[in-house]
A and B are shown apart, each in its own frame.
Chain A
């Protein structure tokens, strides 16, 4: 999948949601990462063709999706965060519609393994946030489309369902563009990363480019060990300068929960 952007800018009134975003990516799984309000959903809306950019251009596999909406909607399917369903249709009706022309294996995974069947009789507006998320993902992943556009796909999901869906995404041939504000989710699924900060590109590239000798991300166990040289602390994760042996010892003494090589959290 080729994703190209040049001077991509989007204003909502006077507010700039995206400013001069540019990249030229050739990858099958692209993760767009950023904090709340960084412009991830706006970028996704333009990718799916829901919005025109105020300036600049974006192309998906050579065409501009906001100018060729029919083509974009046939080739791509989308699942977005926190949907507001306002029609009285049951989940099993959505399942039946998708079953007419969708991926049966995918549908059976959602229906039986993940357990969408258990709330099949419930109306869409009455679903919990997690259930709505599952219905959205069922629609986006099981429909016959080449590119899946997923906005925070794992939000509101429990660990088990997240695992099943993530493994499914990795095992299939389709292309994926997903957004997340959780670095581990991005690093799990993504091949190529686009980091957004206040509507601008902070960094984009592959994970190998991020890794630095002697710098690690450490998962804290309550308190930060004083022996560590901290570069940045972000909640329960700290970016530290240390050695592999020292961190391993801290894990064995239960001072930290674990550690990994520096990843996209670097740009937070």
Chain B
């Protein structure tokens, strides 16, 4: 990851300003489709448990909510170095391409969102299924948005409100990026997209605690 980002940054330095955005686009693509799924799934490997282990932890520590919150905290601590790295890289590239803070903001928020999604997947009974489905969904969800938006771009169409919302939720970074490239493409402005995104992300974490506390387990 460090090597690829460093190479892209090096090449960007050599390019004219108006062409650097292509490398930034490539960086976003690589991050959303490869680095995020891999890193988040590796974090999930520490959180996902068999139900036997979950019951053992609940009995040992004396609480369902404690365990749920501990899982969220563990996951966020695991993601913190990755998030810091992505903040640094996106800040450097934003400055290089004369863009403002919004790109970095969406980079961080997208990691939070996918972490929340991965936590929801950790509720699946089988650890193997959790890890496999996490890798797939974290890869397919952002990719589907990229395919959707590029199709709309190709036909010169405009995304309606609902589709724009879904795009912001599933791949905010790419959606924001395409809204800069073609201001008429996305019908929701970035502020509204941001508020919805934050609400959905918080909803994911709250839902995780809610469903974890109500999981049915037979020993």
In the complex, whether B59 has a CB less than 8 A from a CB of chain A is yes
In whole angstroms, what is the CA distance A78 to B56 when docked? 8
Let me know if B53 and A78 touch, CB within 8 A.
Answer: no
Assess the A86–B53 pair: CB atoms within 8 A: yes
Is B50 part of the binding interface, using a Cβ–Cβ cutoff of 8 Å? yes
A-side binding surface: helix, strand, loop or mixed? mixed
Contacts of A151 in B (CB 8 A): 219
A197, CB-defined interface residue at 8 Å: no
**A143 with B59, Cβ < 8 A, contacts A73-B64, A87-B53 known:** yes
Contact present for A69 and B64 (CB under 8 Å): yes
* CB of B158 within 8 Å of the partner chain: no
Is A52's CB within 8 Å of the partner chain B? yes
Known contacts A83-B52, A86-B50: does B219 contact A139 (CB below 8 Å)? no
* Residues B63 and A70 in contact, CB atoms below 8 Å apart: yes
Write the chain B residue with the least CB distance to A77: B59
- B166: shortest Cβ distance to chain A, in Å? 34
Interface size class of A (residues with CB under 8 A): 20 to 34
**Complex-state Cα separation, A64 to B103, whole angstroms:** 50
Q: Which residue of A lies closest to B45 (CB)?
A: A87
Tell me which of A42-50, A204-212, A228-236 binds B. A42-50
Is A41 among interface residues, defined by CB-CB distance under 8 A?
yes
Whether B127 sits at the interface, judged by CB under 8 Å, is yes
Q: Which of B44-81 contact A (CB under 8 A)?
A: 46, 49-50, 52-53, 55-56, 58-65
In the assembled complex, the CB of A264 is this many whole angstroms from the nearest CB of chain B, namely 23
Q: Distance in Å from the Cβ of A12 to the closest Cβ of chain B?
A: 8
A41 near B50 (CB under 8 angstroms)? no
* B64 engages A78 (CB within 8 Å): no
Query: Complex: how many Å from CA A78 to CA B127?
Result: 22
Which residues of chain B are within 8 angstroms of A180 by Cβ–Cβ distance?
A: none
Does B216 interact with chain A (Cβ within 8 Å)?
yes
A236 to B104, CA, bound (A): 74
Do A86 and B217 touch (CB < 8 A)? Answer: no
CA distance A41 to B218 in the complex (A): 8
Q: Is B19 located at the chain interface by the 8 A CB criterion?
A: no
Please report the C-alpha to C-alpha distance between residue A48 and residue B217 in the assembled complex, in whole angstroms: 10
In angstroms, how far is the closest chain A Cβ from the Cβ of B98?
47
Is A73 within 8 A of B219, CB to CB?
Answer: no
Closest to B48 in A: A86
Q: Which of A174-209 contact B (CB under 8 A)?
A: none
Contact present for A139 and B60 (CB under 8 Å): yes
Which residues A140-173 have CB closer than 8 A to chain B? 140, 143-145, 151
Chain A hits for B55, CB < 8 A: 50, 78, 80
Of B62, B64, B65, the contact of A145 (CB 8 Å cutoff): B62
Interface residues of B (CB under 8 A from A): 46, 49-50, 52-53, 55-56, 58-65, 127, 213, 216-219
Closest 8 CB pairs of A and B: A80-B219, A50-B217, A84-B52, A77-B59, A78-B59, A83-B52, A139-B60, A86-B50
